[in-house]
Amino acid sequence: MILAVETSCDDTCAALVGADGVIAANVISSQEVHDRFGGVVPEVAARHHVELIDAVVAEALRRAGASMADVELVAATRGPGLVGALLVGFSHAKALAASRRLPFAPVDHLAGHVAAAYLAPARFEPPFVALIASGGHTLLLEVRDRTSAAEVLVRTLDDAAGEAFDKGARLLGLGYPGGAALSRLAAGGDPRAFEFPTGRGEEFSFAGLKTALLYRTRELDLSDERVRADLAASYERAIVEALARRTERALERTRLRRLALGGGVAANGPLRARLAGLGAELFAPPLELCTDNAAMIAAAALDQAPLPYPDYLGLDVYATGEGPLR
């Protein structure tokens, strides 16, 4: 059994996964405290991880009907993410491993999102193109096999897709994180009511889109529910098109006919529908495996050589912009 810990952002996560990829427990404790700040406050997130991590690991063991004696390998997210938040889970996991002289696997968060596809019962295997779109990252990857690092095909020049959803939601007076709320509002609107930019080049770019919405909100009457719904629908369509067109190009370029999704934005209904129309075999994980979780970290750990005790004790974490998929 692998015990994995994930604390790269604001979710405190622990999971127990078998060597066969079967999830025995996948505990996710979301910190709703950030809502009132309109975004994740790094130090607040780190302090909440400190308070929660021990209980979350204990709950994962309880749900799996296991004890530390059943754990053969400990894994944790090393980065990218918020350094203070990462340090809590990473250090906690190292200490758990060291206390029982267990091997330890430091896992890249993005490799984790990809590895969510390998978990039972789906076991969606490479080769495939992966679209990882969340509040923190947006990239297209070519995944050739399970052991070598994936190749980054497309990245974002500015905001992540989820960030674009969240900023749009904020301009429309919805809460944080606002992706799902914006999508609910959009469901009653006309996606062709307004023209929004989808970014010009090969890479993703959402900064212009957000600015375009800002200008629209200044000239329109936002107390009109119809207007708000049309704005949301048109804005959502622009994000979906930006993601789908580049995904289509990536599938053509790699000649792959298989596509795996990851990240919170993969929960978006119109995005899933649009991608399903690309003709590739589509794997969209269940919601709890799309958003940040520790089961995916365990899945990634299955494919890498763990470090024996005590070689990992001095390991540090890394921030955004580092790691094998930077």
Q: Which residues bind ligand KG4 (CB under 6 A)?
A: 9, 134-136, 162, 165-166, 177-180, 183, 263-265, 267-268, 291-292
Q: Name the residue nearer to ligand KG4 (CB basis): 178 or 189.
A: 178
H-type alpha helices, 255-323: 269-276, 287-290, 295-301
- By C-beta, is 5 or 97 nearer to ligand KG4? 5
Phi, psi of 173 (to 5 degrees): 75, 25
Cα–Cα distance, 165 to 187 (Å, whole number): 14
List the single partner that 230 binds among Zn ion, ligand KG4, none, CB under 5 to 8 Å by kind: none
Tell me if 292 contacts Zn ion by CB under 5 A: yes
Residue with tokens 């969240």: 166
Q: Which partner from the list ligand KG4, Zn ion, none does 165 bind, CB cut-off 5 to 8 Å by kind? A: ligand KG4
Task: Indicate which of ligand KG4, Zn ion, none lies near residue 270 (CB less than 5 to 8 Å, by partner kind).
Answer: none
Minimum distance from residue 116 beta carbon to Zn ion (Å): 10
What's the CA gap between 326 and 148, in Å, rounded? 15
Supply the minimum distance, in Å, between the C-beta of residue 19 and ligand KG4: 26
Among the listed ranges 23-31, 39-47, 144-152, 289-297, the one in contact with Zn ion (CB under 5 A) is 289-297
Minimum CB separation from ligand KG4 for residue 310, in Å? 31
Least distance (Å) between residue 77 CB and Zn ion: 9
Q: Reduced to 3 states, what is the DSSP secondary structure of residue 16? A: strand
| List 31, 134, 138, 156, residue binding Zn ion (CB under 5 A) | 134
Tokens of 18: 């078998």
Exposed/middle/buried for 304, CB within 10 Å: 0-12, 13-18, 19+?
middle
Using the minimum distance from each CB to ligand KG4, give the nearer residue, 84 or 263. Answer: 263
**Strands of the 73-79 sheet, one edge to the other:** 23-30, 11-17, 2-6, 73-79, 104-108
State phi, psi for 224 to the nearest 5 degrees.
Answer: -85, 110
Instruction: Rank residues 45 and 53 by Cβ distance to ligand KG4 and give the closer one.
Output: 45
- Would you state the structure tokens that stand for residue 279, as one six-digit string? 């003709």
Longest Cα–Cα distance of the chain, Å, equals 63
Residue placing its CB nearer to ligand KG4 in the complex, 234 or 291: 291
> What residues make contact with Zn ion under the rule CB under 5 A?
134, 292
